[in-house]
């Protein structure tokens, strides 16, 4: 049995200590009471320590939104796994807003002359893979985002592209390590658009493509053990339909995790008792 997991990705919101604490204090006890589902908040770095403090009396998990793979070094502005350990239990890796360079400069900058073909993605498949290894080495659970864009979806390339992202992210792990990862299937066209994938489509990609890729690398037992979330315009109204799908083990929630009715969203994701 896979334990469901709902994570709220705050992105670049509620990053001042006063506003973050006001929100968390408002939801934490009601969120904490919900049984049968792991619940995780992923605020900006600036408030992680403060939020960790107010979550201390609860079972609510805390996650970062990215991290570097090195312990320390000349990486201006980066945060390392060594800095997060003891503070966070989770880290989101390979979010599409980072993979596509959206966080750096929209649209992604063209490579400098002579470096055409060089990596312009901020968080490449290779970087995600290093980060996954680093997170696991520090006992931090990676939430690894994968997903196709609209053109790939319409061209029927979803399975090939998403399968490739999964294989790249998990390369070099043992089956036991792979089983500790959480994967979030987030089709890019569904993120922040209010246009979620259908539960049936999400279930198919997660079951066939994502678990299929894991089975090919680590065997069927590992494929059945890994938890896979759906993400992209999940809200209080549609979360139950996703959770009713046998392959969907939870949700990665953006916009709807910033409102107090995130508590109700998580309640609707919890198994009926
Ligand atoms: P959304 O974002 O729920 O606002 O669509 C999801 C995500 O980017 O993780």
Whether the per-residue pLDDT at 272 is higher than 90: the answer is no
| pLDDT value of position 110 | 61
pLDDT, position 1: 85
Distance 233 CA to ligand 1 centre (A): 6
Token pair for residue 262?
């995130």
Return the best residue to mutate from 232, 251, 255 for the ligand 1 pocket (most ligand atoms within 8 A of CB): 232
Tell me the CA–centroid distance for residue 12 and ligand 1, in Å: 12
The reported pLDDT for the residue numbered 122 is 75
Residue 105, pLDDT above cutoff 70: no
pLDDT, average across residues 186-195: 94
pLDDT at 109: 57
Q: Do 87 and 48 meet the contact criterion of CB atoms below 8 Å apart?
A: yes
Active site residues: 95, 186
* pLDDT digit string, tens, across residues 48-87: 999 999 999 999 999 999 999 999 999 999 999 999 999 9
Ligand 1 centroid, distance to 232 Cα (angstroms): 5
Q: Where residue 119 falls among pLDDT bands split at 50, 70, 90?
A: very low
- For ligand 1, the distance from its centroid to the CA atom of residue 116, given in whole angstroms, is 31
Q: What is the pLDDT of residues 125-169, one digit of tens each?
A: 999 999 999 999 999 999 999 999 999 999 999 999 999 999 999
**Mean pLDDT taken over the chain:** 93
Q: Whose CA is nearest to atom 1 of ligand 1?
A: 254
| Cα–Cα dist 164/145, whole Å | 12
Distance (Å, rounded) from C-alpha 236 to C-alpha 123? Answer: 30
Reference 131, options 184, 172, 174; nearest CA is 172
Model's pTM, two decimal places? 0.94
b/e per residue 86-105 (b: at least 16 CB within 10 A): eebbbbbbbbbbbbbbebee
Specify the ligand 1 atom closest to the Cα of 92.
9
118 band by pLDDT with thresholds 50, 70 and 90? very low
- Choice from 144, 145, 254 to test ligand 1 binding pocket (greatest atom count within 8 A of CB): 254
């Amino acid at each position: 049995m896979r334990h469901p997991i709902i994570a709220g990705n705050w992105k670049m919101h509620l990053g001042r200590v006063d506003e973050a604490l006001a929100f968390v204090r408002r939801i934490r006890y009601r969120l904490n009471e919900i049984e049968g589902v792991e619940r995780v908040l992923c605020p900006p770095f600036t408030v992680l320590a403060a939020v960790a403090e107010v979550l201390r009396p609860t079972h609510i998990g805390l996650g970062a939104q990215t991290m570097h793979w090195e312990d320390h070094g000349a990486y201006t502005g980066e945060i390392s796994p060594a800095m997060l350990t003891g503070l966070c239990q989770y880290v989101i890796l390979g979010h599409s807003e980072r993979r596509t360079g959206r966080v750096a400069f929209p649209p992604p900058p063209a490579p400098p002359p002579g470096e055409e073909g060089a990596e312009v993605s901020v968080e490449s498949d290779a970087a995600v893979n290093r980060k996954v290894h680093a997170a696991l080495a520090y006992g931090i659970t990676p939430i690894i985002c994968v997903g196709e864009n609209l053109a790939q979806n319409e061209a029927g390339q979803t399975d090939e592209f998403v399968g490739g992202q999964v294989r790249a992210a998990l390369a070099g792990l043992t089956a036991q390590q792979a089983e500790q990862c959480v994967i979030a299937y987030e089709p890019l066209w569904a993120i922040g658009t209010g246009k979620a994938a259908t539960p049936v489509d999400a279930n198919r990609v997660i079951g066939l493509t994502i678990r299929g890729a894991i089975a090919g690398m680590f065997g069927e037992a590992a494929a059945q053990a890994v938890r896979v979330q759906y993400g992209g315009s999940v809200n209080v109204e549609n979360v139950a339909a996703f959770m009713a799908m046998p392959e969907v083990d939870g949700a990665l929630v953006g916009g709807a995790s910033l409102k107090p009715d995130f508590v109700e969203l998580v309640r609707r994701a919890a198994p009926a008792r």
